[in-house]
Amino acid sequence: MLPAHCHHRVRVAEQADLTAVRGVAADLSGALDEEVAGRVQLVVSELATNLLRHAKAGGAILLRRLERPAGVECIALDQGPGIADLGAALADRTDPEPRAGLGLGYGLGAVRRLSERFDIHSEAGVGTAVLSHVLARGPGEKGPPFAWGAVMLAMSGGEHCGDGWLVRPDGFVVALDGLGHGEAASIAARRAEAVAGAAAHGDDPQTVLAAMHEALKGTRGAVAAVLRLTEGRIDHSSVGNIAMTIIRRSGAMATTTSALSGRWGVVGYNGAPPPTASESWGPGDHLVLHSDGCARLAELFLERRLRHVDPALAAAVLLRDGGARVDDQTVIVLRNARRTPA
C-alpha cells in the first residue's frame, strides 16, 4: 500500500483513462466535503482532457492527498509540443459543445480559478506541466521559512514505495531511500520517517540521523539525508547517495551550484552519521534533493529555467525529465523565500 504522501501516477493516453484518473481522484477526496471534492473532479477532468487533446502521446496525472488544510494536489505532465501562447491558454472560456466523455470545456483558466495554488510551466518541444492544489477552506499550518514542494513516485507497477521524505514546519527536511524495492524497503523508509517526525524541535541533524540508525537495525536499511533549514543557513548530515545541491542566485540568473556531501554507508547497518556541516543560502537560492534513480537534476533545473516556478511543479518537471532508470524516485525542491505551503 502506498503511503499517503506518495503520488499516484495515472497514465492518460486514451479516453478510457479518464475513468481511471477520476476514480483515483474520488478516492483521495472522499473525506473532503462535497464542494471541494467536486472541484477536484473538475480540475482532474480538465487536466486529463488537455493531455488527450494537446499532447501527442498523452501524459500522466500525479495525485496525492494534502493535509492542513486538507485537499488534493494535482499535477499534469506531458512531453508534447508545449503551449505557444500561455495568456490565451489561461483565458476563461466555455466551449459550446464539449466532446462527450471529455472535460467540460472550461480549460486552464477554470483550473486556475478552481485552485488555491496554481502554476504552469511549458517549453516548446519539451512539454507542459500544470500544478493545482484544491483545498478545503480554513486556516493552514504555519510553514517553514522557505517555499517547498516534493514529488515521490513508486517504481512503475509497485504497490509499495521504498523512498520517503518529510518537511516539518520548524525547518527540518528529510529525504530517504530504503535499500532495494518493495515492502521491505518501504518498512525501513516509514520507520525512519517516524523517527524524524518525532524528533524534538532544534535537534541536530546528526542526532536525528543517529536515532534513525538505531531504529533501522534489523531492517533492510536506508540511505538518508537530514537537514535543518533556516532563512540563512543549511545544517546537514547524510549517509549514502541522497543527492543535495544548492543552486545559488547569481545576478539575474541562477548559474552556480554546490553539492553537499555526506558519508558513504547504510543507515541501520554501517551508517554512523557524520558531524553536522553547515552551508549558507540566501534569498532566491534553491536546494534540490533527490534519491537514486534520477540524474543531473541541478543542470536540468537551470536548463528548464525553474527558478521562478512553484517548487512542487519544479520537482515534478525535474522528475519527468531527469528520471534515469526504473526505481522509486523522489525529488524535493526548496526555495529560500518565506511562504506557507499547503
Residue 251: what pLDDT? 65
Residue 149: what pLDDT? 97
Query: Does residue 342 lie within any of the structural domains?
Result: no
C-alpha cell at 46: 480538465
Q: Confidence class of residue 140 from pLDDT cuts 50, 70 and 90? A: low
User: Based on the domain organization, do 180 and 114 belong to the same domain?
Assistant: no
282-326: pLDDT as tens digits: 999 999 999 987 888 999 999 999 999 999 999 999 999 998 767
User: Based on the domain organization, do 172 and 244 belong to the same domain?
Assistant: yes
- Cβ contact 55:80 at 8 Å: yes
Q: Confidence class of residue 253 from pLDDT cuts 50, 70 and 90? A: low
Continuous segment of H or E residues that includes residue 232: none
User: Based on the domain organization, do 128 and 274 belong to the same domain?
Assistant: no
CA pair distance 259, 95, nearest whole angstrom: 49
Buried b vs exposed e over 248-284: b needs ≥16 C-beta within 10 Å? Answer: bbeeeebeeeeebebeebbbbbebebbebeebebeee
Contacts of 214 (CB under 8 A, 6+ apart): none
Domain range for 102: 8-135
Residue 302: what pLDDT? 93
Amino acid found at 292 = D
User: Based on the domain organization, do 214 and 261 belong to the same domain?
Assistant: yes
Residue 100: what pLDDT? 40
User: Based on the domain organization, do 123 and 216 belong to the same domain?
Assistant: no
Asked if pLDDT for residue 99 goes beyond 60, the answer is no
Query: Does residue 104 lie within any of the structural domains?
Result: yes
The arithmetic mean of pLDDT across residues 222-245, rounded, is 95
Contacts of 100 (CB under 8 A, 6+ apart): none
The distance in angstroms from the start CA to the end CA of the chain is 24
Domain end (from 135, 166, 183):
135
Q: What is the mean pLDDT of the chain?
A: 89
Query: Does residue 341 lie within any of the structural domains?
Result: no
Q: For residue 18, give the CATH number of its domain.
A: 3.30.565.10
In 3D space, the residue among 241, 243, 236 whose CA is nearest the CA of residue 267 turns out to be 241
